[in-house]
Amino acid sequence: MSEGDRAPVPLDQESVGRLSRMDAMQVQAMALAADRRRQAERARIDAALARIEEDEFGWCVECGDAIAPARLAHDPAVSHCINCAK
């Protein structure tokens, strides 16, 4: 064993800083993604409420066919019938 092997392992400040910055960026990216999901969900619900107002709720916005009740029960904000959603 040489003298150098017994020397304390230096803390690499720069790489630790990079790591925590990457952590912070990842947390931020996840928060932004969650925000976007919430906004998209909000828009879907608003659109569904507008369809209720216009008596269009339950009808596919694409083809005008009735959306299956089970599909609506699973997700009341759904805007397309099963055929058009594919």
Q: Which is nearer to Zn ion, 12 or 65 (CB)?
A: 65
Q: Which is nearer to Zn ion, 35 or 65 (CB)?
A: 65
**34 vs 23: CA distance, rounded Å:** 16
Residues that bind Zn ion (CB under 5 A): 60, 62-63, 65, 81, 84
Nearest to 79 by CA among 70, 42, 67, 17: 67
Q: How far is the CB of 76 from Zn ion (least distance, A)?
A: 17
Q: Which is nearer to Zn ion, 23 or 65 (CB)?
A: 65
Q: Is 81 left (phi over 0), alpha (psi -120 to 50) or beta?
A: beta
